[in-house]
Structure formats: C-alpha cells, structure tokens
Amino acid sequence: MKRMIVGMSTAHIAIMLLLQNLGSKWIENAAQHRSFIFNTFIFLQLFNEINCRVLDRSLNVFRHIFGNPFFIVIWLGTAIVQVGIIFLGGEAFSTVPLTWQQWLVSIAIGTASLPIGFLIRLIPDWFRQSTVTTLHPTPGQLMWQSAIGDVQRSLAFFTAIRRARRRQSLRLSDQSGVAQVGEP
C-alpha cells in the first residue's frame, strides 16, 4: 500500500508539473490551460480510484468492478459533477469550458493511472519481509482461528450463565434472610 501511495503520488506530481510547464505551449489561453490541468488532475484521481479497489498485488483491477454498486454510482457521479464544474463552474471554480480535443487528451492522460498502477504492483518487495501469512492465512490458520473463536464464545456464554445464577442465588438469600458467608 505504501508503495502504491508513494508511486502514484510521484507519478501524478510529475504529470501535473509536466502539464503546468509544457501545456502552455499547446493551450495558449491561460484560463483554459488551468481548467485543463484541473480536469486532468480529477481524471487521474478517478482512474486511480479503480486502482485503489485492489489492496493486494493482484494485477486485474477490473475484477468484480460491477460487484459494488456504490463504487459505480460514486465514480460516475464524480465524473458527471466534473463535467458540470468545467462547463458551468465559471468564476466559482475558476474554470472555462474545454474543447472536445482537450477533453479527450485530459481523459487519456487520466487513464495513465491504470498502467502506472499496474507497473507499481510489479515492483518487488526488497525492503521488507513478506506479510503473506497475515494477508492470506492458510486453511490451517483459518481452522484454528475459527476454533479459538468458538471457544471464546462458549466461555462468554458460560460466564453469563454463572453470573445470572450467582445474582439469582444472592437475591434468594437476601429474601430468606440467610446470612452470607463471612457476615456476622
């Protein structure tokens, strides 16, 4: 996860700096240039959200992508709001509408998050021990964890029964007036 955070932030900063310095040669209008950079940044983040769905080293980030409808709704909602901000944001967001070519280039640069994430996942872990056992327990570990959980639940159940019996016996002894052990 640290590798992904550091790798993606480095890549996104590099792309943003490149667009800031070289994009003005391609887009001469300063307001459109700023809107283009903002739009590209948002699409880099949107496509990085797809990368972030997978926390392990799995290379297929699209696996079960439609399994979480909340993710799809939020992702599409963010994209729609971004279109609205660029076209309707005006002075509130300091944006101006982009041409369709600028939109295509902005989205294409945004999709760069996907192959960058793929490449980052290929980087081996030289600097730390493998944590495969904690991330992916073996069937034997799962069986022991299950058995330990069963024992803990049983102990909690019997403790609750003992407490209830003790309370009941204390109530009965108070009602009958029998002195407790250790009382005068």
pLDDT at residue 106 in the model: 95
- Any domain includes 182: no
In the block, tokens 């790798």 appear at 7
- Any domain includes 90: yes
Taking the C-alpha atoms of residue 118 and residue 42, their distance in angstroms, rounded to an integer, is 19
- Any domain includes 168: yes
- Any domain includes 131: no
Mean pLDDT score across all residues of the chain: 85
Residues 76 and 167 in one domain: no
pLDDT band (50, 70, 90) for residue 154 = confident
Q: What is the pLDDT of residues 37-92, one digit of tens each?
A: 999 999 999 999 999 888 777 888 888 889 889 999 999 999 999 999 999 988 88
- Any domain includes 33: yes
| Counted domains in the chain | 2
Indicate if the alpha-carbon torsion angle 159, 163, 164, 165 is positive or negative.
positive
Residues 105 and 75 in one domain: yes
Residues 9 and 76 in one domain: yes
Show the domain range for 167. 138-177
Q: What is the pLDDT of residues 7-34, one digit of tens each?
A: 999 999 999 999 999 888 888 889 999 9
